[in-house]
Amino acid sequence: MNIFRLLGDLAHLASIAILVHKMHITRSCRGISFKTQALYVLVFLTRYLDLFYSWISLYNFLMKIFFISSSCYILYLVHYRFRPTYDPSLDTFKVEYLIGPCFVLALIFNYRFELTEILWTFSIYLEAVAIFPQLFMMQRTGEAETITTHYLAALGVYRALYIPNWIYRYYTEGTVDPIAIVAGIVQTGLYLDFFYVYVTKVLQGQKFELPA
């Protein structure tokens, strides 16, 4: 069992649990970007089309079902159940600037020019930048609730753990996935500023505030 892949998946599960817990205990989705959550739904729906024609393992099957269903559930919480607490005037990042270029890249840089392969590649590129609306929203407000930063930290750890996962797979399986590696490095890089503030402030018991 690839320990880095397992830890990455656990960090991803933790990020979802933290986010759902935050919304239920506060009965609010304040500070959560609906657009980022919608992008994650799109990521998982386009990535896991192989559920209909390929079987890898029970673990793989259950994780895919969980990620699709939990992302749709989070979208439901933001858009319906706690909608009065959502402020669209703060969630203004134009997602078409992410979706369009990612799809074009998927058409150009893929492993096979087939529909399912193009959509899988698109999901990899899109996941790398799906956090942009959330980070943009935090940039606009200049602050975030502590529990929201814990969610983002867990999400960042999930992606960071995939770097040693790729190294491990290279030395044990001889497997190299350039598309996933490049996209993962880009995604991890997007979290660097956030992690600096998170480590220097939140973990020291201070409020998360971005520098002016």
SS3 178: helix
Q: What pLDDT does 212 receive?
A: 55
Question: How many C-beta atoms surround the C-beta of residue 87 within 10 A?
Answer: 14
- Report yes or no: 36 and 134 within 8 Å, Cβ to Cβ: yes
How far apart (Å, rounded) are the C-alpha atoms in residues 28 and 87? 11
With CA atoms as reference, report the closest residue to 183 among 129, 137, 141, 117: 129
3-state helix, strand, coil in the chain (%, to 5): 75, 0, 20
- Report yes or no: 130 and 36 within 8 Å, Cβ to Cβ: yes
Return per-residue pLDDT of the chain as tens, 212 residues.
Answer: 688 888 999 999 999 999 999 999 999 999 999 999 999 999 999 999 989 888 888 988 999 999 999 999 999 999 999 999 999 999 999 999 999 999 999 999 999 999 999 999 999 999 999 999 999 998 888 878 888 899 999 998 998 898 888 888 888 888 888 998 889 888 888 888 888 888 888 888 888 877 65
How far apart (Å, rounded) are the C-alpha atoms in residues 69 and 90? 26
> Is the model's pTM score more than 0.85?
yes
Question: How many C-beta atoms surround the C-beta of residue 138 within 10 A?
Answer: 22
Q: What pLDDT does 1 receive?
A: 66
- Report yes or no: 187 and 208 within 8 Å, Cβ to Cβ: no
